[in-house]
């Protein structure tokens, strides 16, 4: 398993596309664990017979792939209709506090988790940061950190529905507990990134008419995202279904000719991201088919490794090595299910602890694509950005530990 993970890291280092790297490492794992085609098929059949349809690999592949592609489509149609270009100025105009604006811009645009989407908010953050005299490494840290604060709770991130289906719990239960990580991240981000190094707010005047105009522009961009989130949290309807409903309504409201709709949906498809999801789920099946999960859990128990240390450190390590959220969930959570439990026996506080480890690993890893893009765009050394995250990482880890103590 370590060799397969090391292979994934090496392939990413040599710029192999993410989806292909994940597939290669999944096949390598199958060979190393001696997962024959017969064993693999037996695992698929057992899964089909023993778990609900919504937790089967086929369902997860289709639903998660559809989610990622439809998020891409929404980003494309927002760009095509001019809505995304109006969003940044609208956010800037809505908030008088410069500190609040610097954080709100990446947070709001982070609700649409498109690949490389950190660049959606980067120009606005850099423009505003340069205007008020914020140091570039702080600008990059603010843009990256606040953009990723939704990752623990926002249903458009495929890791959230994946964890929900793996644990067999409601969306509300998962989101309400993981919210502790998001709130802690936001508060610690304010303390370490916004309280210092930001000049006082300006004295620009905003008229009532300007405020209403900015609010309308913001509403045009935000309603599809909010619609999907409410649908998922309130009724457990998969985010992909919500997007499939919201996107045609969005296109119709903006009077986009129906003959162009197919073009947008075609543009949103990414074969590499489909490979990434398939490879991550393949990795998960190989772990189960090779009986690796039971053996590792037994080994850690016999070695008397503290349970909570395993739950936190395993996602931290994989996230740090890969810089990828969804594959980290697919790789590590199967090992953690015996500790966390499933269904009515789920100890959700332990899931929050595991996700806090994942978040801490993502914040500190130099291999995360968004960090590399940030260092390049803001023209600042990568270590200077990462060093600014040490304070928030401590707070987020403590939040995970407290959730494990009180809800584990």
pLDDT at 389: 94
The confidence score (pLDDT) of residue 277 equals: 78
In a domain, 211, yes or no: no
Residue 208 inside a domain? The answer is no
Residue 200 in this model has a pLDDT that exceeds 90: no
Query: What pLDDT does 183 receive?
Result: 95
pLDDT tier at 47, thresholds 50, 70, 90: confident
Q: Taking a C-beta distance cutoff of 8 angstroms, is the pair 133, 199 a contact? A: yes
- 113 versus 14: the higher-pLDDT residue is 14
Is residue 296, in this structure, part of any structural domain at all?
yes
**pLDDT computed for residue 188 by the predictor:** 95
Q: Mean of the pLDDT values across residues 347-375?
A: 86
Rounded Cα distance, 253 and 96, in Å = 30
| pTM to 2 decimal places | 0.72
Whether pLDDT at 115 is above 70: no
DSSP 191: I
- Is there a domain that residue 21 lies in? yes
Is residue 291 one of the residues assigned to a domain? yes
Alpha-carbon distance values, 210 to 106, 207, 214, 295 (Å): 21, 5, 6, 62
- Read off the pLDDT of each residue in 143-168 and give the average, rounded to a whole number: 89
Which of 78-82, 86-90, 313-317, 342-346 bottoms out in mean pLDDT, i.e. has the lowest? 86-90
DSSP string for 118-168: HHHHHHHHHHHHHHHT--HHHHHHHHHHHHGGGTTT-TTSTHHHHHHHHHT
In a domain, 205, yes or no: no
Give the range of the structural domain holding residue 166, as residue numbers without chain letter.
2-200+217-407
Query: Is 138 inside a domain boundary?
Result: yes
Q: What is the DSSP string of 31-74?
A: HHTT--HHHHHHHHHHHHHHS-GGGSHHHHHHHHHHHHHHHHHH
Share the mean pLDDT of the chain: 83
Total number of domains in the chain = 1
Please state, for a pLDDT cut of 70, what percent of the chain lies above it: 91
The pLDDT of residue 367: 66
Please state the rounded mean pLDDT for residues 375-393: 87
pLDDT at 403 over 80: yes
Query: So what's the pLDDT on residue 106?
Result: 86
User: How many C-alpha atoms does 39 have within 13 Å on its Cβ side?
Assistant: 14
Q: What is the pLDDT of residues 256-305, one digit of tens each?
A: 888 888 888 888 787 887 887 788 788 778 877 887 767 776 777 788 88
Q: Is residue 132 part of a domain?
A: yes
Binning pLDDT at 50, 70 and 90, where does residue 380 land? confident
């Amino acid at each position: 398993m370590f060799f397969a993970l090391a292979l994934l890291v090496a392939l990413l280092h040599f710029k192999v596309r993410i989806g292909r790297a994940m597939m290669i490492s999944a096949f390598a794992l199958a060979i190393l664990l001696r997962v024959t085609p017969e064993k693999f098929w037996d695992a698929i059949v057992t899964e089909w017979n023993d778990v609900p349809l919504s937790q089967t690999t086929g369902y997860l592949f289709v639903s998660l792939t559809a989610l990622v592609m439809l998020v891409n489509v929404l980003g494309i149609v927002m760009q095509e209709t001019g809505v995304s270009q109006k969003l940044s100025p609208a956010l800037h105009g809505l908030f008088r506090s410069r500190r609040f604006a610097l954080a709100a811009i990446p947070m709001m645009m982070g609700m649409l988790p498109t690949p490389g989407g950190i660049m959606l908010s980067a120009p606005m953050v850099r423009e505003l940061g340069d205007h008020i005299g914020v140091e570039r490494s702080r600008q990059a840290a603010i843009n990256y950190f606040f953009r990723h604060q939704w990752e623990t709770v926002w249903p458009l991130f495929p890791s959230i529905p994946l964890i929900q289906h793996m644990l067999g719990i409601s969306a509300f239960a998962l989101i309400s507990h993981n919210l502790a990580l998001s709130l802690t991240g936001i508060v610690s981000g304010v303390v370490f990134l916004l309280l210092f190094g930001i000049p006082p707010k300006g004295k620009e005047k905003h008229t009532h008419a300007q405020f209403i105009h900015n609010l309308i522009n913001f509403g045009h961009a935000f309603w599809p995202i909010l619609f999907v989130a409410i649908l998922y949290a309130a009724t457990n309807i998969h985010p992909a279904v919500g997007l499939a409903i919201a996107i045609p309504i969005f296109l119709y409201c903006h009077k986009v000719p129906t003959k162009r709709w197919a073009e947008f949906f075609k543009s949103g498809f990414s074969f590499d991201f489909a490979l990434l999801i398939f490879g991550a789920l393949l990795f998960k099946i190989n772990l189960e088919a090779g009986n690796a999960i039971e053996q590792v859990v037994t080994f850690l128990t016999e070695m008397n490794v503290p349970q909570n240390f395993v739950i936190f450190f395993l996602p931290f390590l994989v996230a740090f090595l890969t810089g990828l959220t969804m594959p980290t969930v697919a790789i590590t959570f199967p090992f953690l299910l015996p500790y966390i439990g499933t269904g009515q026996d789920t100890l959700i506080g332990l899931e929050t602890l595991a996700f806090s480890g994942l978040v801490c690993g993502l914040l500190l890893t130099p291999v995360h694509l968004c960090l590399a893009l940030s260092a390049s765009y803001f023209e600042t050394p990568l270590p200077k950005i990462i060093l600014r995250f040490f304070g928030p990482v401590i707070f987020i880890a403590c939040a995970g530990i407290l959730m494990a103590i009180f809800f584990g």
